[in-house]
Structure 1
């Protein structure tokens, strides 16, 4: 939520006013059909307005969840950090986060990802099959924690 709000504030308070100033200046220079500053500025302003609308919709629909307040810590829900082992005993630690926060490189998987969907409601010792484009893989839940 904080990252979305910061991006929204930056676009609305910094980038958009700068573009409006450039477009206004460029419009005063005369012929707009061949004025690169004017054409680019208008295009960029439309992009910013679309992103502002998208961010606004996301922030309205968003609900902030504190994983530390999870009552049932023995099962996998939103905000859980889960240690898994596959058939070859390769271990992996993932944290289930919102889709906007996912970063596979840091082990943060989105709530609607195939892995998170398979893990929802799992307890320690459960085996879960994850269907991925590369095929199916079975994972065992070794540990669940909430920070």
Structure 2
């Protein structure tokens, strides 16, 4: 992972921080306790709790290191503060139609929070790169491994800014 800033939404950053805190504050201490208990049971070479615990501890430590780097290099960008809501930028939720009139809704998010099955794609993906800067009604061609496809932008939306506790509807 390079040390360049990695754009992420506030929700994505919160999920990564929550995962880090869960692993570091809950799972890891329980696992260390289990490993200590298992180590006291004698022969470690055939002790499944000890062997599995050490393996799982290495996995958790690797994940914690990765999450720590992500948080260190994260540049939180709030899509709700996007001034020009008529143009596709980072954090936009976009409704598209392809040449077969199949419709899909995608949200452009940071690479560390992308989840294609949930419609959240990295803003660095080929389709996102092709869409950035487009407006409703425009068509964009995307080069994919399966060939070129074109998409028409049907709608663009951004999350609303969080309202202060004292404001009225």
| Aligned pairs (5 A) from 1:42-121 | 42-121=54-133
Alignment-derived partner of residue 137 in structure 1:
149
Moved more, 105-114 or 43-52: 105-114
1:32 Cα shift? 1.6
* TM-score normalised by structure 2 residue count: 0.79
Structure 1, unpaired ranges of 5+: none
Cross-structure match for 1:31: 43
Give TM-score, length-normalised by structure 1. 0.89
Structure with the larger helix share:
1
Q: C-alpha offsets along residues 11-70 of structure 1, whole Å, 9 cap, x if unaligned? A: 111111111111111212222222221111111111110010011111111122211211
Looking at structure 2, the residues matched to 106 and 22 of structure 1 have their Cα atoms a distance apart, in angstroms, of 36
Instruction: Give me the CA root mean square deviation.
Output: 1.6
SS in 1 for 2:38: helix
Cα offset for 1:88?
A: 2.9
Aligned partner of 2:20 in structure 1 is 8
Is there any run of 5+ residues in structure 2 with no aligned partner, and where? 1-12, 160-169
Q: What is the aligned length?
A: 147
Look up the SS of the partner of 1:101 in the other structure.
coil
Instruction: Give, in angstroms, the shift of residue 102 of structure 1.
Output: 2.5
Counterpart Cα distance in 2 of 1:128 and 1:9:
41
